[in-house]
Amino acid sequence: MTGTVLSSGHGPDDPQQRDPDEPRGGTGTARFVARKVGGALTSLVLVVLLGFLLFRMIPGDPVATMTRDRPTSPEQLAQLRERMGLDKPMFQQLLDYLAGLLRGDLGTSYVFNRPVATMIGERVWPTILLVGTATVLAVLLGLWLGVRAAWRRNSMFDRAHTGLALTFWSTPQFWLGMMLLIATQGVFPSGGMRSPDAPSGFFAASLDVAHHLVLPCVTLLVVVYAQYMLVMRSSLLEEMHSEYLTTARAKGLRDDLVRRRHAVPNALLPTMTLIFLQFGMVVSGTVTVEKVFSWPGLGLLTYDALWGPDLPLLQGVFVILTGSVVLMNLLAELLYRVLDPRVRAS
Amino acid sequence: MRVTGQRRGRAAVAAMAAALLVAGPLAMPAQAQDSTVLRVALVQEIDHLNPFTASFASSTMIGRMTWEFLTLPSAEDTSPTGGVAESWQTSPDGLTWTFTIREGMTWSDGEPVTAEDAAFTFNRIMDDPQAAEANGSYVTNFQQVTAPDERTLVIETKEPQSSMTALDVPIVPEHIWSGVKDMSAPRTDEVEIVGVGSGPFLITEFRRNELVRLEANPDYWRGRAQIDELQFVSFKNSAAAVNALRNGEVDFVNRLTPVQFDALKSDPNIQTNQAVGRRYRDLLINHGAQNLDRQPIGDGHPALRDLRVRRAIAMAINPQELVDKVSGGYAQLGGGVVPAIFQKYHWEPDEQQRYGFDPAAARALLDEAGYRMGPDGVRVGPDGRPLELRLLGRASEDYAQRAAEYVQGWLGDVGIRVSPNLVSDNEVNELSSGGKYDLAFSGWGTNPDPDYVLSLHTCANLPVGSGSSSSPAFFCDEQYDRLYQQQRAELDPDQRAGIVHKAQQRYYEQIPSVVLQYDNALEAYRADKFAEFPKQPAGSGQIMEQSGYWGFYGATPAEGDAGGGGGGLGTGAWIAIGGGVLVVLVAGGVALSRRGKSVEDRE
| B429 → closest Cβ in A60, A207, A257 | A60
Q: Which amino acid is at A212?
A: H
Q: Which helix (H) or strand (E) holds B202?
A: strand B201-207
| Strands of the B417-423 sheet, one edge to the other | B331-333, B513-519, B279-285, B439-445, B388-394, B417-423
Q: Is the pLDDT of residue B2 over 60?
A: no
Q: Which amino acid is at B463?
A: P
Report d(CA B461, CA B476) in Å as an integer: 9
Contact B237/A292, CB-based, under 8 Å?
A: yes
Give the pLDDT score at A97.
Answer: 86
Do B435 and B469 form a contact (C-beta atoms < 8 A)?
no
| A1 → closest Cβ in B244, B433, B593 | B593
CA B564 to chain centre: 28
Contact A74/B464, CB-based, under 8 Å?
A: yes
| B581 → closest Cβ in A210, A294, A307 | A210
How many CA atoms does the CB half-sphere of B315 hold within 13 Å?
21
Give the confidence band of B209 by pLDDT, cuts at 50, 70, 90. confident
Give the confidence band of A80 by pLDDT, cuts at 50, 70, 90. confident
Q: What is the pLDDT of residues B271-290, one digit of tens each?
A: 999 999 999 999 999 999 98
Report d(CA B107, CA B67) in Å as an integer: 9
- Mean pLDDT of all residues in A299-319: 85
Give the confidence band of B470 by pLDDT, cuts at 50, 70, 90. low
What is chain B's length? 603
Q: What is the pLDDT of residues A180-232, one digit of tens each?
A: 998 988 889 998 999 888 788 889 999 999 999 999 999 999 988 988 898 88
The angle at the Cα of B585, spanning A144 to A166, to the nearest 5 degrees, equals: 40
- Chain B touched by A290 (CB under 8 Å): yes
User: 3-state DSSP call for residue B145?
Assistant: strand
Give which of B40, B52, B182, B236 to mutate to test A binding, by max A Cβ within 10 Å: B236
Give the pLDDT score at B588.
Answer: 56
- Chain B touched by A296 (CB under 8 Å): yes
Nearest residue to A130 via CA among A210, A19, A196:
A210
Counted across chains A and B, CB pairs separated by less than 8 A come out at 198
Contact A207/B592, CB-based, under 8 Å?
A: no
**Between A282 and A208, whose confidence is greater?**
A208
Contact B39/A196, CB-based, under 8 Å?
A: yes
The angle at the Cα of A187, spanning A182 to A189, to the nearest 5 degrees, equals: 80
Percent share of chain B, pLDDT over 90: 70
User: What's the pTM value of the predicted model, to 2 decimals?
Assistant: 0.84
- Chain B touched by A155 (CB under 8 Å): no
Q: Which amino acid is at A333?
A: E
Report d(CA B419, CA B402) in Å as an integer: 13
Report d(CA A226, CA A166) in Å as an integer: 6
Give the confidence band of A71 by pLDDT, cuts at 50, 70, 90. low
Q: Is the pLDDT of residue A175 over 70?
A: yes
Report d(CA B317, CA B511) in Å as an integer: 13
**Between A198 and B102, whose confidence is greater?**
B102
Q: Is B298 left (phi over 0), alpha (psi -120 to 50) or beta?
A: left
- Chain B touched by A207 (CB under 8 Å): yes
Contact A257/B599, CB-based, under 8 Å?
A: yes
Cross-strand partners of B440: B284, B392
Cross-strand partners of B153: B99
Q: What is the pLDDT of residues B317-364, one digit of tens each?
A: 999 999 999 999 999 999 999 999 999 999 999 988 999 999 999 999
Straight-line distance from the first to the last Cα atom of chain B, in angstroms, rounded to the nearest whole number: 16
Do B67 and B197 form a contact (C-beta atoms < 8 A)?
yes
- Mean pLDDT of all residues in B94-120: 96
Contact A187/B577, CB-based, under 8 Å?
A: yes
Query: Cα distance from A191 to chain B (closest Cα, Å)?
Result: 6
Q: What is the pLDDT of residues B232-275, one digit of tens each?
A: 999 988 999 999 999 999 999 999 999 999 999 999 999 999 99
Query: Cα distance from A67 to chain B (closest Cα, Å)?
Result: 7
- Environment class of A243 (CB within 10 Å of its CB; exposed 0-12, middle 13-18, buried 19+): exposed
Report d(CA B216, CA B220) in Å as an integer: 8
Q: Which helix (H) or strand (E) holds B157?
A: strand B152-157
Rg of the Cα atoms in chain A? 25
- Chain A touched by B467 (CB under 8 Å): yes
Q: What is the pLDDT of residues B516-532, one digit of tens each?
A: 999 999 999 999 999 99
Nearest residue to B178 via CA among B220, B144, B129, B128:
B128
Give which of B137, B243, B459, B593 to mutate to test A binding, by max A Cβ within 10 Å: B243
Give the confidence band of B130 by pLDDT, cuts at 50, 70, 90. confident
Contacts of B246 in chain A (CB under 8 A): 186
Contacts of A191 in chain B (CB under 8 A): 233-237, 240-241, 244
| Burial call B265-291: b when 16+ CB within 10 Å, e when fewer | eeeeebbbbbbbbbbbbbbbbbbbbbb
Residues 202-221 of B with CB under 8 A from A: 207-211, 213
Query: Cα distance from B378 to chain A (closest Cα, Å)?
Result: 32
Contact A294/B237, CB-based, under 8 Å?
A: yes
Task: Please tell me whether the peptide bond between B537 and the residue prior to it is cis, using omega within 30 degrees of 0.
Answer: yes
| Burial call A6-31: b when 16+ CB within 10 Å, e when fewer | beebeeeebeeeeeeeeeeeeeeeee
- Chain B touched by A111 (CB under 8 Å): yes
CA B166 to chain centre: 17
- Chain B touched by A189 (CB under 8 Å): yes
Chain B residue closest to A294 (CA)? B236
Query: Cα distance from A108 to chain B (closest Cα, Å)?
Result: 10
Contact A76/B452, CB-based, under 8 Å?
A: no
User: 3-state DSSP call for residue B37?
Assistant: strand
Query: In the predicted model, what is the mean pLDDT of chain B?
Result: 87
Query: Cα distance from B241 to chain A (closest Cα, Å)?
Result: 7
Give the pLDDT score at A55.
Answer: 77
Give the confidence band of A241 by pLDDT, cuts at 50, 70, 90. confident
Query: Cα distance from A289 to chain B (closest Cα, Å)?
Result: 11
Give which of A8, A55, A118, A211 to mutate to test B binding, by max B Cβ within 10 Å: A211
Nearest residue to B124 via CA among B188, B74, B72, B66:
B188
Give every CB contact of residue B86 below 8 A, 6+ residues apart in sequence. Answer: B100, B101, B102, B103
| A197 → closest Cβ in B456, B461, B571 | B571
Give the pLDDT score at A89.
Answer: 85
Ranked by mean pLDDT, the top range of A120-134, B5-19, B88-102 is B88-102
- Chain A touched by B295 (CB under 8 Å): no
Give the pLDDT score at B74.
Answer: 93
Give the pLDDT score at B575.
Answer: 55
Sign of CA dihedral B299, B425, A59, B403: negative
Strands B417-423 and B388-394: parallel
- Mean pLDDT of all residues in B211-228: 96
Ranked by mean pLDDT, the top range of A93-107, B44-58, B145-159 is B145-159
What is chain A's length? 346
- Chain B touched by A60 (CB under 8 Å): yes
Give the pLDDT score at A248.
Answer: 80
What sections of B95-214 are H helices per DSSP? 115-127, 174-177, 191-194
Straight-line distance from the first to the last Cα atom of chain A, in angstroms, rounded to the nearest whole number: 28
Contact A191/B246, CB-based, under 8 Å?
A: no
Cross-strand partners of B232: B40, B212
Give the 3-state DSSP-derived string for chain A, with helices as H, strands as E and coil as C.
CHHHHHHCCCCCCCCCCCCCCCCCCHHHHHHHHHHHHHHHHHHHHHHHHHHHHHHHHCCCCHHHHHCCCCCCCHHHHHHHHHHHCCCCCHHHHHHHHHHHHHCCCCCECCCCCCEHHHHHHHHHHHHHHHHHHHHHHHHHHHHHHHHHHHHCCCCHHHHHHHHHHHHHHCCCHHHHHHHHHHHCCCCCCCCCCCCCCCCCCHHHHHHHHHHHHHHHHHHHHHHHHHHHHHHHHHHHHHHCCCHHHHHHHHCCCCHHHHHHHHHHHHHHHHHHHHHHHHHHHHHHCHHHHHHHCCCCCHHHHHHHHHHCCCHHHHHHHHHHHHHHHHHHHHHHHHHHHHHCHHHHHC
